[in-house]
Structure 1
């Protein structure tokens, strides 16, 4: 049973004749006759009483089918009207792989607000550094948000260039320790690593021990350490214990747990160079450029 067969039945019912229905629908009379015979065979009913009269007579089952056909076609018209306009509008698709930065989340939320009347499909893949690079290299993601450390920035730029990727700087950040409000070290103008060593260290798990690929850009031989994969898990651990994490110090109030704060780490001599990577062979679409502009604005506001 097809919608086209239902159209034939409804038109024959309106015209009272297969010949007239064929003319109105710009098809041949044999085509309609065959479609109706096939429908009768599928449903195991007779739709018309076929006699020598000029006007077709619907059987009781045929009349019931005609009502259903008209209802069905009304629904088809509503569906087509509902989605026809959308089918002509641009469908936006933005795929971003990123380390665990709240400014990226804020940019995604603002992007949704800007395009709230558009059709879109957004992906934000918070992942490990090497996976982010692989996502952009294999074109699974258009953009990758990562951080380098200034001491190995030259090496990492060369590494990325060898994969046909380019790194574009957003901002440089001084290392901070993320801690909970009420932590014994809260309120200090700066802390030393020796002071932090008394507390559990929480970091993101990576597939490599290379310092160049670690999100925290440091390997601490802490007596107590916890490795996690998700930002929510890390924040929950930090906000409910005296543990800490090393990062940029960027806190976006609109999307960050209000119990989280940070303090500069005095004896870490490097800087986080936060930026975005893309393939040199791919031109970013306008929505992707807008997304990067938002990320840049929020970084500079911090």
Structure 2
């Protein structure tokens, strides 16, 4: 069993195929296949198999071993970073879990900063839902992730406040004012968006003691906007998720002001690598 074999296995699982793993690692596809086959031979177990529809699937033993393999590679990465730091260098890879609006808001700027200040540090981005990011953190698929607090069994560092706003058709009666009070939304049909966006909205109504009329729940912001355009309801959303608003819709301020907190989380700040601590420090210094 070699470090290269472990790296090949993890890369194959993360990319979903031997071909993509080969491209990521600058190897040939047969070399990737042989590395994993040799690892399975050394261990005497089958770690994964290929499915035409689902791609690479871990066996039960492969699933249980993946956590430990990631931990081994994580420790090796930390060793390499500490040795490099002793020589006055910053090297390594930071795997970042992010949801879409956080990616748009923060990642372009932080990547630019790292390219300028730490050119030997590589940032790899995994985008998904808030639940997926929490799972990736617990399984060590990512080193650090953008989250919405609270998050259990993690160290969480707050980085921003995201104001909640109301989206509605310009023809809606409530659009005539610059702001909408939460009391005005009692029994108003609302469209919620999954992926962690619905929880803050439910909390707003509970705290305000206003009845929430959740007419629909969707998974995509574009679907939510289309349904509002069709007059099927209105929505309360974090301001950051709105990138392009259709011309027939408008945004109104919600009163009283409600904000959701955006944070970055790590399984353990104490055990975080030098590179991850640099990432956290730079995120805290963003304007």
TM-score of the pair, normalised by structure 1? 0.46
Task: Give the structure with higher Rg (CA).
Answer: 1
TM-score of the pair, normalised by structure 2? 0.48
